[in-house]
Every structure is written in structure tokens, then in C-alpha cells.
Structure 1
Amino acid sequence: MKSIIAVTSFLFSILFTSPSWALSAVEYKNLADGISSDEMIVYESTGKLRHITVFTDIDCGYCRKLHSEVPALNASGVDVRYVAYPRAGIGSDSFKKYVSVYCADNPKKALTNAKMGMLLKPADCDNPVEENYRFGKRLAVNGTPMIVIDDGSVVSGYLSARKLLRRMKVGYVSPPKGSEMFPKVAATRISPEQYLIINEAHLYTRPDTRMQSMGTMQPDVVHKFSLEIEIDGERWLGFRKGGSQYYTQANNLRLIPSVATQSIKSKKYAAVRPTALYISPDKSAKKMADMPARSYFRFNLEVRNENGRWLGFSRNGIKYYAPAADLEEI
């Protein structure tokens, strides 16, 4: 860590006379170039024409987006040199993740996995994360990613590989196939169908239980799924929301059979006796709510099957049914 300490001492001499925002391009260049390569995680290019130094946070969305551009930057001859800057501070979860990255057998692969959302095995060893973070604070890194180009110019925030290369006056080269940092999930689109959650279901951005859980779905909730994939003999179902994909194990779900319903004029019906609402016109289906005697709903669907006549309605994309024999029009 001697180089970080030396750079920090140099930085103090600069900051003593001028605020961080007044640093010149030459000063930024000298500071970034003064960091030893063994105190960074470096994704090297083949041509080694240029390099950028990036202050990055594992849990920063735009840092992940920039990381997905690394293959294109490398293919275009630009080394990407990462300096750890966990924005939440020393001792935070992001800080601990970065320590585990540095202490992994393959830090580059571990960093990619961590940025993808995979849970890493906690590890501790001699590492530069705290010094990196303090260095970034003194350099007034207020947001991530902060990119120091090798000419000393600074980009605060994300730029696509094409725009960054254009700014560096470097030609864009398409990365080779299979070099993606975050390989796409080859899920199959299926006809959207409703499923009942039967066990607490964790949601992941990839069909892999090693990923960080992005939320849970509690039992007796109905949700629509439109993606399917099988991995190592295990079936997963997924859906898209807000530009992201979410998956859960199919054994946590039960398909709600589609029912051929007939639309009828919407009318109010009251329960003549205590009855229930089901998610399928079948009393063996999951009961979703009780209807006390004289309580009512407006029904506009009708089903006739081996279980008799049923009335139903749709709410928030979910259909509910009650036995018509338990209802009377009001």
C-alpha cells in the first residue's frame, strides 16, 4: 500500500492550497497514475492503447451498467482500472462485499459476480479497500462511477462505451461474442398465466439461488408469470417488470387453470348464506376470501361446469368465483 500512501501525501499537499474541484487535468492524471495496479482491479485490453481509472461501487446501478461495457472498451484498446469506492462508507455491506472481492481467488471474476448481484462467500485479508475509499473521499468523489481518463479529464457519472470512446478519440470495436460480463438468461417466453404462490418464494434477477434475493412473494398471493427456463433439471418461472426480469423456483407455485367464462350483465349479488370466493370455479380450489351472509359483490362473469353454475368477477387482473347457488341478485 506504499503507493496509495505516497499518492495520499501528494494529494494533501495539493488540497492544502486548493479545493478538490480546482484540481487540474494534470493533477488528476498524476494522482490516478500514481495508484499501483495491485491496489486496483484491472480489466486489460489486448491493444493497451489507453486506460481509464474508475471509482466504482458494487451496489451502484450505473456502475453495473458501465461494467457491462467493459468488453467493448477492452476490445477498443482501453484498459479499465477499478478503484474501490463503496459509497455507504467503511464497514458498510458494500464495503464488506468489496473486501470479499479482493480476497477471492479471482478478484476480477468475483467483482463481476458481485456487480451482477451474486452473493459472495465472506472473506477477509490484507486489502486496499479502506485506503481506496479514503483516497476517493479526499478526491471529492461524490458519486459513482467517477471516471478519470488517462489525459486527466474527469467524467462524473455513466457514459456508454461509444460516447466514452468518442470523447477519448478512440475508434469503437465490437466485443467478441461470448465476452458479455452479464450473460443473458435464455428464458422462453410463455403465454402469461396466473399462478398461486404456495410457499414463500424468493425473487432473483437470474434463475440462481446464489443471487441476492430481490424480494419475496408470500403464500396465497396470485401473480402472473410469462417466462420459463430449466437449469440443471430445475424449472424456474419469471416475469418482466420495470425493464428487469425476476425469477422464482416453479415448485413454489401452482398454476391456476384457465377457465372459459361467459360475460353477463354486471349485477350485484348477495350471499344468501356464508360462502367463499375461489380463484377457480371449483370448491377444491384455493379459497381467497369469505363472503359473510348478506355481503355482496358485483358479478359479470358466468361459468357452467361439472361443479354447477358459478358467478365471477375480475379485479386487478385476477378472477374470483362463487357458487351461484349461494348468491341472489339484489
Structure 2
Amino acid sequence: MLYSSLPAHEKRAAFRARLASGELVRMPGAFNPLSARLIERKGFEGVYISGAVLSAELGLPDIGLTTLTEVAGRSAQIARMTDLPALVDADTGFGEPMNVARTVQSLEDAGVAGLHIEDQVNPKRCGHLDGKQVVDEDTALKRIRAAADARRDPNLLIMARTDIRAVEGLDAAIDRAKALVDAGADAIFPEAMADLGEFEAVRRAVDVPMLANMTEFGKSDLFTVDQLRDVGVNIVIWPVSLLRLAMGAAERGLDQLVGEGTLKPLLGEMQHRADLYDLIDYEGYNAFDTSVFNFEVRR
């Protein structure tokens, strides 16, 4: 009730142990705290917190307009709702190396198990759009060194994301990935890989966990978990999928209201009140106050 039963340091240790075991970790993107609880209930191994989702929730494009305060606050809300490890998109670290250090400690305080810092210039853009620009290697490495040095819990996962594949090609992405690992990255996120062979090539080049981004309508095909596991991927994220599904359903519901004036035909597509109350553990709060759950919800 109220929050996760596990302290953050235990989630981080468990995340590290799962990655060390070689088991693939599936991390759907939570678009709010309640969806994080649903992800856990459905049996996934982790929760992803997407910068694109956070921007979209605020009605903003994913071009670096969100602040560290907004990202840390939302991360804390989501991380506290689940015993699963949460991995958060920290964009470019919100500034220069000292800002990156502050970002790491703020997100560590928020209770996440890991974060990734990317090598795009500011202002950044969505990793699956054209026209990206990346910083020079020295700047990228300084960000990762600052992040690794700033953490206080050694189990906090510092992941380096590189967007250079879309700018300079696969060989450049492999070279940058190697350099980022040497700079202290615990894991690598090669963004916008074109095919499974490119994931395989990065896998051969580095010996740390590797993440695959299975975002819809992007540069990469939507490979299955088994396909990605077979080429050595360790973490898979679906960053915006649940938000897209929810917004699609919301749009259809509003169209139904406009056209028919009632949502009765869509009741079967809705989460039932009883399922919602079960998910938020309404009955469990009765342990604090017997007056809060003194009713029955009929199906």
C-alpha cells in the first residue's frame, strides 16, 4: 500500500543481478504511476520512463523542453508504485558535465534503478527522426564520466545512448559505443538500428548489457523479444506504446460520444471499476482505516 515494498537500493541490486544472469529484461514504458503497477502485474521485469512520453503528457514535443525537476518528479511517482526496477530517459543530462552529475543524483534520489544519457546536441530531438546532430566524442565521454562519478549507489545503472548511427553510420556507432564503455558506461543503448545485424555488430563490439528500442513508427523494425534475445540484446523497451494505445482508445471514445452521445457500446473495452480498485489495492487501504472500503463493487 501507498508505495513499493522494496527500497530503491534493493531494486537496483536486483536489476544488476538479472542483467548479470543473461536474462532478457522487458521494460514497457509507463505513462503514469498506475500503468507501472499494471506492467508489474502482467509479469514484466522492469518499467521504462520515457522522455518522449513525459513531453507528450505536457503537450510538448520531445526536443529537450522538459526540465530535470519534471523528469525527477515523474520518475519518483512511477518508481514508488512498483517493486520493479525503473529505467529513465535522462536525455542529454540537462546541461554540462556538472549538470549531468546533478541529474544523476536527483534521479538516484527519485528511486530509479538506472538512467541513460545520450550524445545528441542541445536541443535534442526524438531518436527516430531525421536531422539529428551528435556532440563530439570528447563531450560525449565527459557526460558519461560525470554520470558515473556522481552516483552514490554503485548499483545505479549508468547507460550511454548513442545516436550517431543515423548521422555517421554503423561503424561510427560501434566506435562510439566502445569509447562510452571505456568512459564508464555500464550498458549501451544504440539508437535507431536498421536491422538485427546491426544489433549483432554492436553486441560483438562491447561486453556490457545492450538495450533495443522497439518504438513504433520509427527507424527500426519491430522485432520480437525472441529475435532480439537471439542477437544478444539484454533489455528491450517499448517506450511510447502504452501511451499510444491509451490515446487511441481515448480518441475512439470521444468520437463515439460525438457521434452517438453515449459510451455504452464501449463498456466492454473499458477497465472495469472493480479491476481499477483491485489494481490500486483499494481494499488494502482498509488496514489503515476501516471506513474507506466498506462497500462492494458490482460487475
| TM-score > 0.5, shorter chain as reference | no
Decide which structure has greater helix share. Answer: 2
More strand by share: 1
Q: Which has the larger radius of gyration?
A: 1
The TM-score range, normalised by the shorter chain, is under 0.3
TM-score normalized with structure 2 length? 0.19
* Structure of greater relative contact order (alpha carbons < 8 Å, 6+ residues apart): 2
Taking structure 1 as the reference length, the TM-score comes to 0.18
